[in-house]
């Protein structure tokens, strides 16, 4: 996936002007936020589950090596194989090799964000293997040749009209010529088209919501059952997962499942929450013959070792995106890479290099709603601030910003000078703006006055000056 993280500002400006995108975003926002609020309100023990989950996941991260090795042993005991990929590129290479070994021509894919990190579709296509996205949203954007714009609803930026047009254009080849408008009918048409592809696929690739160390199983959470069909129909199954997805046992996974769907879509549980056990066992009526898990690091161990460890508690629910006013204004594509919104602004600089994404940690008002709704209590604003410290130290912020701040800090550490200079500023601004009470334009304040009036200072004196006088002449 092409990295466009350096053009965030421009992309954001364009996104704000895109009427169709804005319509789609408003619709999505209302749905996600309202439903989550209702679901959480119905669970009085929400905060308790949340804090227990945080502790459990922290424990896992403290002992990540132990749990990953335990998971690997359990998978092998089940008859599967585990591959370790240090980089996203390595993961893609491993998977392409596995697919070639299986003689695959088409591959059915469930949605996988770590797969996007590895640009799996690109790697497969280059190797002459055809990947078919089976998640409805991923299928839509595959047709549109766009990257996902949301981590659980990849096509959230598309309006129904746009989907109608996409299907109409691309389904002609299947003998489907009618323009379908009704939502349920669109889903039904996609189902018809995709059903054939599931059956034809030689290999199925999915992500995993949770990896169970104790049993070597993994959990797939979907609303369409595409994860299930992708996992059991093809002869070879490949699971790609980030190393932070492991949990000790099924009890721990259940606790996280209680948080996941409610946070993501406001459902108590997704339509299909499936526990997958690896290759077909004796007596199983279905299941793949070959089962592979590719565990991906891609800078997760860097986060583990450093100040961003808490980010690894993330299980990709999307709640932070849904409640972020910045994401809600500009959508996911503006962020320029796989992960948008608050969690994206934390992980993207790590994975693509902060010098390639210096704006993302700053594109935030630090309002804190993301941290409030995060089911895993990740202190996103604090983590973004840590990135800001890095951009400051590495001088990745604009010179104007740096100097402005240095000057402000220099004044603010010299109270007498501060008093004198602020008095002058206030006198000047008050005199200039006194008649109207506000400025429509002001030199150096263009960022503000483009869309806002700037109030003039109330008087020609600062509070401190007035207070001093008042105390001298009470």
Partner 1 sequence: MNANPSVGLFVTCLVDLYRPNVGFASIALLEQAGCTVVVPETQTCCGQPAYNSGDSSSTRKLAQATIMAFESFDYVVAPSASCAGMLKHHYAELFEDDASWFERASTFADRVFELTSFLVDVMQVNLSSKPFDSSVTYHDSCSGLREMGIKTQPRSLLTSVDGVTLNEMEDTEVCCGFGGTFCVKFPDISERMVTDKAALAKQSGAAVLTGGDLGCLMNISGRIDRLDIPMRVYHVAEILAGMTNVSAIGAEQSAEQGSPQSPGVNAASIESKKL
To partner 1, the closest distance from the beta carbon of 424 in angstroms equals: 11
The reply to whether 353 sits near partner 1 by the rule CB under 8 A is no
Window contacting partner 1 (CB under 8 A); options: 158-166, 173-181, 285-293, 360-368:
360-368
Coil, strand or helix: which one is 2? coil
The reply to whether 172 sits near partner 1 by the rule CB under 8 A is no
Count CB neighbours of 254 within 10 A.
Answer: 12
To partner 1, the closest distance from the beta carbon of 62 in angstroms equals: 20
Coil, strand or helix: which one is 121? helix
Q: Which of 42, 66, 179, 470 binds partner 1 (CB under 8 A)?
A: 470
Question: From CA 354, how far away is CA 119, in angstroms rounded?
Answer: 20
The reply to whether 188 sits near partner 1 by the rule CB under 8 A is no
Q: Which of 140, 330, 338, 352 binds partner 1 (CB under 8 A)?
A: 330
Residue identified by tokens 């993501």 is 264
The reply to whether 425 sits near partner 1 by the rule CB under 8 A is yes
Q: Which of 205, 295, 351, 363 binds partner 1 (CB under 8 A)?
A: 363
To partner 1, the closest distance from the beta carbon of 388 in angstroms equals: 3
To partner 1, the closest distance from the beta carbon of 399 in angstroms equals: 13
Q: Which of 408, 424, 428, 432 binds partner 1 (CB under 8 A)?
A: 408
The reply to whether 428 sits near partner 1 by the rule CB under 8 A is no
Residue identified by tokens 């640009």 is 119
What residues numbered 236-265 form the site for partner 1, per CB under 8 A?
A: none
Count CB neighbours of 34 within 10 A.
Answer: 11
Question: From CA 63, how far away is CA 189, in angstroms rounded?
Answer: 46
- List, as one string, the DSSP characters of 195-209: HHHHHH-SEEEE--S
How is the beta sheet containing 130-133 ordered, strand by strand? 81-85, 290-296, 236-242, 203-206, 106-109, 130-133
Q: Which of 145, 285, 450, 472 binds partner 1 (CB under 8 A)?
A: 450
> Is beta strand 106-109 parallel, antiparallel or unpaired with respect to 130-133?
parallel
The reply to whether 23 sits near partner 1 by the rule CB under 8 A is no
Residue 243 DSSP class: G
**111 is written with which tokens?**
């949605």
The reply to whether 415 sits near partner 1 by the rule CB under 8 A is yes
Question: From CA 9, how far away is CA 254, in angstroms rounded?
Answer: 40
Question: From CA 133, how far away is CA 151, in angstroms rounded?
Answer: 15
The reply to whether 389 sits near partner 1 by the rule CB under 8 A is yes
To partner 1, the closest distance from the beta carbon of 264 in angstroms equals: 20
Q: Which is nearer to partner 1, 174 or 448 (CB)?
A: 448
What are the start-end ranges of the H helices in 324-398? 325-330, 341-352, 369-373, 380-393
Q: Which is nearer to partner 1, 153 or 363 (CB)?
A: 363
The reply to whether 47 sits near partner 1 by the rule CB under 8 A is no
Q: Tell me which residues touch partner 1 (CB under 8 A).
A: 9, 12-13, 16, 325-326, 329-330, 362-369, 371-372, 385, 387-393, 397, 401, 405-406, 408-409, 411-413, 415, 418-419, 422, 425-426, 434-438, 440, 445, 447-448, 450-464, 466-470
């Amino acid at each position: 996936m092409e990295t466009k993280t350096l053009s965030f500002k421009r992309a954001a400006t364009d996104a704000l002007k895109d009427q169709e995108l804005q319509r789609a975003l408003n619709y999505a926002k209302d749905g996600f936020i309202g439903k989550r609020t209702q679901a959480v309100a119905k669970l009085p023990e929400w905060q308790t589950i949340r804090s227990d989950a945080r502790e459990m996941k922290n424990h896992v991260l403290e002992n990540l090596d132990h749990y990953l090795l335990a998971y690997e042993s359990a998978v092998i005991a089940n008859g599967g194989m585990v591959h370790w990929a240090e980089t996203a590129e390595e993961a893609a290479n491993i998977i392409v090799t596995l697919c070639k070994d299986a003689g695959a021509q088409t591959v059915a894919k469930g949605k996988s964000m770590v797969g996007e990190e590895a640009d799996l579709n690109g790697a497969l296509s280059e190797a002459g293997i055809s990947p078919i996205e089976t998640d409805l949203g991923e299928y839509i954007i595959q047709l549109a040749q766009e990257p996902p714009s949301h981590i659980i609803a990849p096509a959230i930026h598309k309006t129904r009209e746009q989907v109608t047009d996409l299907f109409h254009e691309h389904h002609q080849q299947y003998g489907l010529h009618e323009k379908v408008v009704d939502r349920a009918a669109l889903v039904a048409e996609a189902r018809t088209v995709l059903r054939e592809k599931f059956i034809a696929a030689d290999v199925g690739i999915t992500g995993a919501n949770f990896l169970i160390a104790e049993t070597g199983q993994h959990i797939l959470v979907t609303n369409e059952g595409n994860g299930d069909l992708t996992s059991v129909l093809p002869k070879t199954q490949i699971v790609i997962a980030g190393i932070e997805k492991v949990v000790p046992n099924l009890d721990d996974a259940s606790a996280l499942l209680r948080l996941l769907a409610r946070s993501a879509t406001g459902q108590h549980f997704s339509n299909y929450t499936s526990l997958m056990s690896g290759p077909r066992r004796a007596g199983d009526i279905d299941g793949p013959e070959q089962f592979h898990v590719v565990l991906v690091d891609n800078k997760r161990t860097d986060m583990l070792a450093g100040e961003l460890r808490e980010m690894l508690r993330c299980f990709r629910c999307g709640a932070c995106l849904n409640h972020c006013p910045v994401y809600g204004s500009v959508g996911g594509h503006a962020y320029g890479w796989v992960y948008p919104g608050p969690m994206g602004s934390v992980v993207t600089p790590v994975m693509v290099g902060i010098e390639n994404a210096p704006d993302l940690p700053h594109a935030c008002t630090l309002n804190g709603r993301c941290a409030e709704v995060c089911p895993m209590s990740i202190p996103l604003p604090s983590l973004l601030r840590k990135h800001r410290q890095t951009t400051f130290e590495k001088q990745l912020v604009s010179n104007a910003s740096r100097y402005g701040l240095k000057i402000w800090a220099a004044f603010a550490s010299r109270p007498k000078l501060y008093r004198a200079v602020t008095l002058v500023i206030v006198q000047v601004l008050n005199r200039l703006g006194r008649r109207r009470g506000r400025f429509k334009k002001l030199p150096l304040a263009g960022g503000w006055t483009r869309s806002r009036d700037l109030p003039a200072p109330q008087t020609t004196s600062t509070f401190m000056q007035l207070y001093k006088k008042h105390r001298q002449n009470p």
